[in-house]
Copies of this chain bind each other. A is one copy, B any other.
Amino acid sequence: MTRVVAQGTFDILHPGHVHYLRDAKAMGDELHVIVARSVNVTHKEPPVMPDDQRREMVAALKPVDEAHLGHPEDIFVPIERIDPAIIALGYDQHHDEERLQAALADRGLDCEIRRASPLDRDDSDRLLSTGRIIDRVLEERS
């Protein structure tokens, strides 16, 4: 039983999220997703959706076995609880893998870090990411 962890904000769900989670699930048997709390989203605009609603929507997606909200102060607390064999990073997530690996080792966590593949398909220029969905709402509804 190989447990995999994926993580992110998962604000307004789109096919890029589903692709990342499918890819992460394919790395093992059981996929746990850590959904960032709004208070911890500091590198981009805060999510539109409430924390619980984002967690619930991620949990409703087929590749996901369990979805958890992150810990407000210590990102490693849920990792310790879940104890995954693999942490799957999204292909565009700005994490320094070496620093993350070192921080995990400091906490006595032994897990492999892998990258999910990018969403590579012919229609990707037509797909809307969370940012493009928000832009479209602002263009069409304001």
Q: Residues of A with Cβ closer than 8 Å to B?
A: 12-15, 18, 45-46, 48-50, 52-53, 56-57, 60-62, 123, 126-128, 133-134, 136-138, 140-142
- Contact check, A128 vs B50: say whether CB atoms are below 8 A apart: yes
- Contact check, B138 vs A14: say whether CB atoms are below 8 A apart: no
Instruction: Report the separation of the CA atoms of residues A13 and B53 in the bound assembly, to the nearest whole angstrom.
Output: 10
- Contact check, A57 vs B18: say whether CB atoms are below 8 A apart: yes
Instruction: Report the separation of the CA atoms of residues A127 and B50 in the bound assembly, to the nearest whole angstrom.
Output: 8
Instruction: Report the separation of the CA atoms of residues A48 and B12 in the bound assembly, to the nearest whole angstrom.
Output: 12
Residue among A14, A46, A48, A133 facing the most chain B CB atoms (10 A cut-off): A48
Instruction: Report the separation of the CA atoms of residues A46 and B13 in the bound assembly, to the nearest whole angstrom.
Output: 18
